[in-house]
Amino acid sequence: MKNISAYESTIWSSLIVTVAASLFFFGKVFGALAAGTPLELPTIMRLGAAVVVILVAVELAFKVAVSAWCKGELQTDERDRLIAAKSARNGYYVLIVLQFVLIGHLGIHSMFGGGPWLTMDAPTLLTFMIFALVLAEIAHFSSRIVYYRVGA
């Protein structure tokens, strides 16, 4: 395996932290959904706020560690900016597709009425919107890593 640059290592750390926090958050939320427990908005917001605070603290610690390891500011060049742009595009494609799926779900629900498989209350819809955002961010980080490995 090739040596990874400091810039790429920050992307790896962001991907790992995002996946770990998502598994925790969505494990709790989807576990409650699977158990038949109704989701309450204050519970989701409290859990989400805790995850965001932990994410920010861990990401900041990683950035400080990498910055100390690199002895200063990370330097970016034209290739880094091209990779960032292409991977952002991929992340937005994932986000757009998943948001249209949710909008389509709401449209089908309003046209045909609520069946047991179509019912979605506001906290559940919010959870799926957050899930779409997280998947888009994971696609963004993953694309960046792939572009660094295979070239862009």
Q: What is the mean pLDDT of residues 67-95?
A: 83
Assess if residue 99 is contained within a domain: yes
Q: CB of 128 within 8 A of CB of 76?
A: no
Assess if residue 1 is contained within a domain: no
Q: How many domains does the chain have?
A: 1
- What is the structure's pLDDT at 1? 42
Q: What is the mean pLDDT of residues 95-107?
A: 88
Q: Which domain holds residue 92?
A: 6-150
Task: Give Cβ neighbours of residue 24 (< 8 Å, ≥ 6 apart).
Answer: 51
Residue 99's pLDDT band, with cuts at 50, 70 and 90, is very high
Cα–Cα distance, 5 to 98 (Å, whole number): 32
Assess if residue 142 is contained within a domain: yes
- Is the pLDDT assigned to residue 124 strictly greater than 90? no
Task: Give Cβ neighbours of residue 148 (< 8 Å, ≥ 6 apart).
Answer: 4, 5, 8, 11, 83
- What is the structure's pLDDT at 35? 83
Assess if residue 50 is contained within a domain: yes
The alpha carbon of residue 24 and the mean position of all alpha carbons in its chain are separated, in whole angstroms, by 13
- What is the structure's pLDDT at 2? 53
- Is the pLDDT assigned to residue 94 strictly greater than 90? yes
Q: CB of 19 within 8 A of CB of 138?
A: yes
